[in-house]
Chain A
Amino acid sequence: MLPLAIETHELVRTFRARGRGPVTALAGVTLEVPRGELFGLLGPNGAGKTTLIKILVTLLLPSAGTARVAGFDVATEAHEIRRRIAMVSGGETTGFGLLTVAEQLWMFAQFHGIPSREAKRRIADLVEIVGLGVQRSTRVSDLSTGMRQRLNLARGFLTEPEVLFLDEPTVGLDVGAARDLRRYVRRWTAEGPARTILLTTHYLKEAEELCDRVAIIDGGAILASDSPDRLRRSSVGTRYAVGTERVPAGPWRDQVPGLRWAEVGPEEGGTGAVVTAELGADGDIAALVAALAAAAGRILSVAPVERSLEDVFVEILDRSVDPAGNPAGSSTEVDVR
């Protein structure tokens, strides 16, 4: 059986910062990513995402704990890992502007020892896949930001890595370019069942659309990890939207024991009202409907409200902040990029 694509155990990384003492960027991260998974790492700036990626791609050594990529230890088997991975960061300006698109990709292929003929074959395919076929003889310095990022992504695919690390790959891209990029990522993973991607992003819709599983990280600690769908469903409370004949009156909230919060708004295109409420459990819906029927006339509709990953993300981060306003897992946050 193939080893896990990524495996970390109690991973810690601290930095020395001038005048501030040691800064903890990762505070005991334990993570398992099986082969073939598109795994998302979500977190605010300074949460530790980039530090984790830099350790996994062998640019940084852990201060404590262990990390393995494709079965190899990041501290002692970096060379084996480097043969099996690629890393692409958002907004990166790697390479040389005076080279053409095809030359640049050929150069990077040489760093992985790919024979020239094979490299040229892959480049011919890849430039078409990422939509740079017309620009293959264009100098890199003449590419737009979006085209440049397509080129970076092509570099990531070029070596056919077992594990691809994408660090905010769509940052700074317009809507169309970001959508294209997501399409290439999906296509690449679909073509190889063992291909694994670890993606960091600030765009939660992107994570929701692409990732099989996500982890939410803050203060250098993993706060939650599951599929976007399960995270949405397992999150505290259940939301419903109840359409009523009129705006509810009286102390109806007191009659719903599991009610966490509720807001009342006008019915769209009508004279009634819509009550959006978060309940502790699905079973509390009966009490809500009964209370609203008494306070707002006829019940016109009852529908569950789908929670977005963004809602869950904000809730989890809010829960993780202690009363003094410090994030969980660490007393200090740092952006090590």
Chain B
Amino acid sequence: MNVTLMLRAARGRALPRLTGQFRSPTWVLYETLLPLLGTTAFVFVYRALGAPDRFVSYVIMGGAAVAFWMNVLWMMAAQFYWEKRTGNLDVFMVSPCGLTPILLGMSAGGIVATLLRAAAVVAIGTLVFHASFDLSRLPAVVGVFTLSLVALYGLGATLASLFLYWGRESWHVASLFVEPVVLASGVYFPVHALGFGVGLAASVVPLTLALDALRQLLIGPAHPALLSLPVEVTGLAGLAVAYVALARFALTRMERLARREGRLSRRY
């Protein structure tokens, strides 16, 4: 693969994602303020129960994490379904860059766009509900966060290949992935509360280990961790490598299958 071509193609595909942030500012209302209402409900429940202050921080982090999970599901995994319907997929496939840099560009654009949303959730949550975070290990936080994004968007790229093959059913599958993952990954509470076995099983979704590792770093020793930080970081690194490799394999296989069976050529 020509690296220059790959980077240029990824840059090209990231453009509509980034441009959308400025040309369609309604995302502030629909994707930040409205979802924040759901997050706020958890804050009030915890406060009514007299839970420690760190639970407010859990909820705010969870609200930011949900923004990434939704982006991975709808703007990565299910995106090729829309690209197929508009005819973009045909154009992507007959371009010399292939689909890998297209997914890379979608990820990069999606990460930047979602970072804005997540930052808005954290900023509003911190200001309104006085959530507090320990920023003494900021470089480690940045490192774990970056690793988490690679693993999470690697999973998104893998799902994109599978969803493309499934076609219209992918829409329902994406819907099915929303709530169970929010629950099993401990988005609004420490995943440890579900038990070690469930937490470990849920770790197949990088969101679980990512949130738990970041909570260890940002909330401190009071957070009941699922695993030790080094183990969780190692697990995240393993997931990142595995999902990126799986995504490449799945894309190549899916493209070959699609060319043989003609599934990508039909818009129904």
Contact = CB atoms under 8 A, between A and B. Distances in A.
Interface of A: 15-16, 54, 57-61, 78-79, 82-83, 85-87, 89, 92-96, 98-99, 103, 106-116, 139, 155, 336-337
Given A99-B19, A107-B12, A113 B259 contact: no
Nearest to A165: B94
A82 B94 contact: yes
B262 to A, nearest CB: 5
Nearest to B8: A110
B19 A111 contact: no
Closest 9 CB pairs of A and B: A110-B12, A113-B5, A111-B95, A96-B16, A107-B12, A82-B96, A83-B96, A110-B8, A61-B259
Which has the most chain B C-beta neighbours within 10 Å: A59, A103, A155? A59
Interface residues of B, number: 35
A113 B15 CA distance: 15
Given A94-B87, A108-B12, A82 B95 contact: yes
Nearest to B22: A98
Interface of B: 2, 4-5, 8-9, 11-13, 15-16, 19-20, 23-24, 86-88, 90-98, 102, 259-262, 264-267
A135 to B, nearest CB: 16
Nearest to A79: B96
B265 A54 contact: yes
Given A94-B87, A94-B88, A111 B12 contact: yes
A150 B11 CA distance: 24
Given A87-B94, A108-B12, A113-B4, A98 B23 contact: yes
Contacts of B102: 111
Contacts of A92: 87
Contact of B91 (A99, A108, A337): A108
Given A94-B86, A96-B16, A336-B262, 10 more contacts: A60-B262, A82-B96, A94-B88, A107-B12, A111-B9, A111-B92, A112-B5, A113-B4, A113-B96, A115-B8
Which has the most chain B C-beta neighbours within 10 Å: A83, A94, A103? A94
20 contacts: A54-B262, A54-B265, A58-B259, A59-B93, A59-B265, A61-B260, A78-B259, A83-B96, A87-B91, A99-B19, A106-B15, A108-B12, A110-B8, A110-B12, A110-B13, A113-B2, A155-B91, A336-B265, A337-B265, A337-B267
Given A93-B86, A98-B20, A103-B19, A60 B12 contact: no
A331 to B, nearest CB: 19
A152 to B, nearest CB: 10
B40 to A, nearest CB: 30
Given A99-B19, A113-B9, A336 B266 contact: yes
Nearest to A74: B259
A16 B263 CA distance: 11
A92 B88 CA distance: 9
Contact of A93 (B2, B87, B95): B87
Contacts of A57: 94
Contacts of A110: 8-9, 11-13, 15
Nearest to A78: B259
Contacts of B8: 110-111, 113-116
Nearest to B85: A93
A85 B260 CA distance: 20
Contacts of A139: 23
Given A98-B19, A98-B23, A112 B96 contact: yes
Contacts of A95: 86, 88
B39 to A, nearest CB: 28
Contacts of A79: 96, 98
A106 B23 CA distance: 18
A11 B246 CA distance: 34
A98 B24 contact: yes
Nearest to A59: B265
A89 B96 contact: no
Contacts of B91: 87, 94, 108, 111, 155
Contacts of A89: 87, 90
B12 A106 contact: yes
Contacts of A15: 262
